[in-house]
Homo-oligomer: A and B are copies of this chain.
Amino acid sequence: MAASGTSIDPSLRHATAADAALRQVSEPDSLVIRFPASEPLRLDSGRDIAPLTIAYKTYGELNACKSNAILICHALTGDQHVASKHPVTGKGGWWETLVGPGKPVDTNRFYVICANILGGCMGSTGPASLNPATGRPYGVEFPVITVGDMVNAQARLLDHLGIEQLFSVIGGSMGGMQVLQWCARYKDRVFTAMPIATAPWHTAQNIAFHEVGRQAVMADPDWQGGAYYGTEARPSRGLAVARMAAHITYLSEKALQDKFGRGLQNRDAHSFSFDADFKIESYLRHQGSTFVDRFDANSYLYITRAMDYFDLEAEYGKLANAFTGTKTQFCVVSFTSDWLYPTRDNKEIVKALNGVAANVSFVEIESDKGHDAFLLDEAIFFDTVRGFLNAAAKKRGIA
């Protein structure tokens, strides 16, 4: 089939990429801490998970008094490769616009840690990991986890690193949920916090979009009840549909219209077929098909579930109670065109923090890029992060 010497069979490319991704589950291209089976992680569900493995990356140097550590919490489909080449895709780090030498989160000054979340597929324990009880990958035997569980696992990592207090914990989207959970559960361990483009709970619409994604995955016969590891088939079609649906929520309608509008893809007229006539169709299909090369479908199910369960108000009775007695300095950031976690949701966080007289600033950034704005080139956002961290570093006595 190789009619051209420069082209490769796309199915081969997919298989190779997916195999490379699967290798990250057990042999991640990053640091790894493997806690022994005798030290299980007690989950919010009451179940234990053991052994617990956490894969993580660090950037910069920890100073002598261990006061300059920043924990970056990643979003649904992110990972520990925040500011360096991704081992599967070969692309740059997902937040390298923000994190690196001389960047707003300056790794010349700060020691940055980013761990693959519990439930992920890049080396931390997740549904693709080996279940010691069976010797096979967990699949749906993996326990349902929460954002709180993710944070508890990260706290274990910090214990291991000997870091008592973080200078800052920073994250957008689900990363922001982890930030909030950190501030609620480990009040003394967080000097400053930046929850970005996030929410203190998942709304009905948030849950609805996730449920569509999960149903798309589980409707794919190749999902095989979650036991597809080691078989020839992966639920790539279902996962691609899930990714496509989710991707629409990451962009604003205006961004979609400005970028794609009704533009046609490599043609002058409608094809009167089901081809990807429109640029937006071609773009979404591409988003779907590249995602499945690097992400595990079961991880997608578990992480979306954790997000849907996230509700700090329910956990603490009243949202403000989550922050009672906090000494953390907060900077809450939202983006005007984000309709996934709109400014309204972010303001609920600010309101609750004000309710306990916390030290909080709030910045709503004008952007037409939608939820994804937090990952993109937004100068005012960068200035906000840099300014907040530098002022706090001075207060903390970080050189």
Contact = CB atoms under 8 A, between A and B. Distances in A.
Interface residues of A, number: 54
Interface of A: 45, 47, 140, 143-144, 201-205, 207-209, 211-212, 214-216, 218-221, 237-238, 240-241, 244-245, 248, 253, 256-257, 259-262, 270, 272-274, 276, 278, 280-281, 284-285, 288, 301, 305, 308-309, 311, 314, 339
Contacts of A305: 274
A31 to B, nearest CB: 30
A208 B241 CA distance: 11
Contacts of A238: 219
Nearest to A252: B205
B261 A204 contact: yes
Please list the 8 inter-chain residue pairs (A to B) with the smallest Cβ-Cβ separation, ordered nearest first. Answer: A219-B237, A204-B256, A144-B272, A45-B272, A204-B260, A204-B280, A205-B253, A211-B281
9 contacts: A203-B256, A204-B253, A204-B280, A207-B281, A208-B280, A219-B237, A241-B241, A262-B314, A274-B305
Contact of A207 (B204, B208, B262, B273): B262
Given A144-B273, A238-B219, A273-B144, A257 B212 contact: no
Given A204-B280, A219-B220, 10 more contacts: A144-B273, A201-B262, A203-B256, A204-B259, A207-B262, A211-B278, A212-B244, A215-B241, A274-B305, A278-B308
Given A212-B248, A248-B212, A280-B211, A219 B240 contact: yes
Contacts of A301: 274
Given A205-B253, A256-B205, A214 B245 contact: no
B241 A219 contact: yes
Contacts of A237: 219
B257 A203 contact: yes
Contacts of A311: 262
B248 A209 contact: yes
Contact of A241 (B45, B216, B314): B216
User: Which of A219, A309, A314 has the largest count of B CB atoms less than 10 A from its CB?
Assistant: A219
Contact of A215 (B143, B240, B257, B261): B240
A248 B205 contact: yes
A220 B218 CA distance: 11
B219 A262 contact: no
Contacts of A274: 140, 144, 214, 218, 301, 305
